[in-house]
């Protein structure tokens, strides 16, 4: 989670990335580094959730609801637990953003051995 928190801090002042455009670019570039996936995810998470997620500073022991949801979703993807993954995505993400956010989380889970 700390790595994603660091990425989120770097992205705070950056322009927001459109979820759909970002996924179109990343899906055409199979060997993109995990940092790129993490950055796109953190830049577009607010758009996908419909509100800015609560993300704590790195090294804070407390985990927010949004962070816990993201960690559970990544863990479900890593465990190939499709039912849990779909439940978590459907519980918070509007239908129009599910495919793209799901792609980002699945891609990130393949590149992060431990978050």
pLDDT of 80 reads 94
CB 79 within 8 A of CB 106: no
Q: Tens of pLDDT along 5-53?
A: 887 777 676 666 676 666 656 655 655 667 778 888 888 899 999 999 9
CB 64 within 8 A of CB 54: yes
Contacting residues for 23 by C-beta, under 8 A, at least 6 apart? 40, 100, 103, 104
pLDDT of 48 reads 92
Prediction pTM value: 0.73
Average pLDDT over all residues of the chain: 84
pLDDT of 115 reads 47
Q: In the chain, what are the domain boundaries?
A: 2-111
pLDDT of 32 reads 61
Where would I find the beta strands (DSSP E) of 13-85? none
| Calpha distance 27→68 (Å, rounded) | 26
């Amino acid at each position: 989670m700390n790595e994603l928190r660091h990425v989120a801090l770097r992205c705070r002042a950056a322009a927001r990335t459109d979820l759909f455009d970002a996924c179109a670019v990343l899906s055409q570039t199979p060997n993109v580094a995990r940092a790129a996936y993490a950055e796109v995810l953190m830049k577009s998470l607010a758009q996908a959730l419909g509100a800015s997620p609560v993300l704590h500073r790195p090294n804070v022991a407390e985990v927010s609801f949004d962070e816990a949801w993201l960690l559970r979703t990544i863990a479900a993807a890593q465990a190939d637990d499709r039912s849990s993954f779909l439940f978590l995505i459907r519980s918070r993400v509007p239908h129009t953003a599910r495919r793209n956010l799901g792609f980002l989380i699945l891609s990130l889970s393949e590149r992060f051995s431990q978050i």
